[in-house]
C-alpha cells in the first residue's frame, strides 16, 4: 500500500481489491450478488451484519468464505440456550502459581460468526454489545482490546421461532445492516447442485490482508460528502419517527418507533463505501438510497395497523424513499 500516492489512486486500488475479493467469493457462493455486496460494504464501513434467511441458504458458508478471502482469524460461536457470557468472552482461572489468569474466549478473533444468535438468552446476547461498539471487552474490572479489524456477522432464521429469544432493540441497533438472504433463482440453484454434489472442492485464496482492510476503512471515512447528501440522509431517518416535524404520512399511520441517529450515520458511511465501489470520489443521494433498505429494515417497528393491512417494512421504506 506504500505505492498508493493519492486519494484517487487509493480509490482505484480499493476498487481493484474489491473486485478480486468479490470474484474469489464467487468461486464458492453462487448468486446472492446483493447479499455479498452488502456484507462487504458493512465490513469496509467498520460495521456489523445480521444475515436473516431460512435454513439451507448458505449463510454460514458465506461467512466462512468471506473470512477465508479476507485472510483474517475466524471463530464460529454456535449460540444455544445454555450458552453463557463467559463462553464467548473468556474467563479467569487459577494458574499453577495460584494467580488468576484470563483465558480469552472465541470472541478474540477478527471475524466472528454468531450462528443463530437469537437462540441464546438476552444475558448472553448482551456479552456482544461492548465488543461490537467499543472493540473491547471488560471482565473482572480489566479491559481487553480486540484485534482490528473486528466484525460480527450473525445469522438468524425467520422461522422456527420456538425456543428463540428476539434480539433486543439495543442489540439490533449495533448491526449496520440487516441483510435478507432469499432463495436462489432456478439457474443459480441448478449451478449450486451441480457444484456441490460432486467430489471437487473450490479453494478460496486470501486476497486482502487485515492491514489493507484497516487502510480501506480509514479511506472510506475520509471521503467528502456534499451537504445535500447529509441533509437527505438525516431527513430520511427522521421521516421514520412518529412525531417528528417532517414525519411522512405512512409513518404516522403504520410505525410505532423509528430509526435513531445511528441510522443517519450508517446511511452516510454506507453511501461513501457504495460510491467508492463505483469509482466515485463523493457519494450522491442515489448511494444513500442504495444502502437504505438494509440499514432501516431492523430499526423500524410497525404498529398493529400495519400488520392488519399487510404493510411490511420493505413497502414502508420504499414509500419513504
| 245 shares its domain with 163 | no
- Assess if residue 215 is contained within a domain: no
| 88 shares its domain with 184 | yes
CATH code of the domain covering residue 139: 3.40.50.300
| 70 shares its domain with 133 | yes
Range of the structural domain that residue 277 is part of: 223-320
How far is it, in rounded angstroms, from Cα 267 to Cα 248? 18
How far is it, in rounded angstroms, from Cα 250 to Cα 94? 59
What total number of domains does the chain contain? 2
- Assess if residue 205 is contained within a domain: no
| 35 shares its domain with 172 | yes
If we measure between CA atoms, which residue out of 70, 60, 52 comes closest to residue 29?
Answer: 60
| 232 shares its domain with 163 | no
pTM of the model: 0.87
- Assess if residue 22 is contained within a domain: yes
pLDDT of residue 156: 84
| 186 shares its domain with 232 | no
- Assess if residue 111 is contained within a domain: yes
| 79 shares its domain with 181 | yes
Check if the beta carbon of residue 13 is closer than 8 Å to that of residue 44.
no
Instruction: State the CB neighbour count (10 A cutoff) for residue 202.
Output: 12
Strands (E), the chain: 49-52, 74-78, 90-94, 100-104, 111-115, 136-139, 142-145, 151-156, 177-180, 255-257, 301-302
The tens-digit pLDDT sequence of the chain (321 residues) is 555 557 788 889 899 888 888 888 887 887 778 888 899 999 999 989 998 887 777 777 888 888 888 888 888 888 888 888 888 888 888 777 777 788 888 888 889 998 888 888 888 888 888 888 888 888 877 888 888 889 899 888 776 566 677 777 777 888 999 988 888 788 878 887 877 777 667 777 888 888 889 999 999 999 999 999 999 999 888 888 887 777 777 777 788 888 888 999 999 999 999 999 988 889 999 999 999 999 988 888 877 887 777 788 888 888 887
Sequence-distant (≥ 6) Cβ neighbours of residue 234 within 8 angstroms: 264
Amino acid at each position: 500500500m506504500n505505492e498508493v500516492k493519492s486519494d484517487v489512486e487509493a480509490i482505484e486500488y480499493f476498487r481493484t481489491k474489491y473486485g478480486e475479493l468479490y470474484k474469489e467469493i464467487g468461486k464458492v457462493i453462487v448468486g446472492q450478488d446483493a447479499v455479498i455486496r452488502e456484507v462487504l460494504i458493512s465490513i469496509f464501513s467498520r460495521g456489523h451484519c445480521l444475515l436473516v434467511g431460512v435454513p439451507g441458504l448458505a449463510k454460514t458458508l458465506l461467512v466462512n468464505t468471506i473470512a477465508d478471502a479476507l485472510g483474517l482469524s475466524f471463530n464460529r460461536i454456535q449460540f444455544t440456550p445454555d450458552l453463557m457470557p463467559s463462553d464467548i468472552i473468556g474467563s479467569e482461572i487459577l494458574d499453577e502459581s495460584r494467580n488468576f489468569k484470563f483465558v480469552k474466549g472465541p470472541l478474540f478473533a477478527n471475524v466472528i460468526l454468531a450462528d443463530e444468535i437469537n437462540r441464546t438468552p438476552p444475558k448472553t446476547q448482551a456479552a456482544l454489545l461492548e465488543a461490537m461498539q467499543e472493540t473491547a471487552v471488560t471482565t473482572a474490572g480489566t479491559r481487553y482490546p480486540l484485534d482490528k479489524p473486528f466484525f460480527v456477522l450473525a445469522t438468524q432464521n425467520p422461522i422456527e421461532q420456538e425456543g428463540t429469544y428476539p434480539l433486543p432493540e439495543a442489540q439490533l441497533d449495533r448491526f449496520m445492516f440487516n441483510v435478507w438472504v432469499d432463495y436462489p433463482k432456478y439457474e443459480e440453484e441448478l449451478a449450486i447442485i451441480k457444484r456441490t454434489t460432486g467430489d471437487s472442492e473450490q479453494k478460496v485464496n486470501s486476497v486482502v490482508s487485515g492491514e489493507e482492510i484497516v487502510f480501506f476503512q480509514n479511506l472510506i471515512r475520509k471521503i467528502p460528502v456534499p451537504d445535500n447528501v447529509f441533509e437527505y440522509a438525516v431527513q430520511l431517518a427522521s421521516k421514520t419517527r412518529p412525531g417528528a416535524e417532517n414525519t411522512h404520512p405512512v409513518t404516522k399511520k403504520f410505525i410505532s418507533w423509528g430509526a435513531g441517529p445511528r441510522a443517519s450515520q450508517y446511511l452516510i458511511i454506507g453511501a461513501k463505501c457504495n460510491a467508492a465501489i463505483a469509482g466515485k470520489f463523493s457519494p450522491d443521494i442515489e448511494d444513500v438510497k442504495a444502502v437504505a433498505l438494509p440499514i432501516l429494515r431492523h430499526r423500524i417497528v410497525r404498529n398493529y395497523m400495519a400488520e392488519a393491512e399487510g404493510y411490511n417494512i420493505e413497502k414502508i421504506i420504499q414509500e419513504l424513499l
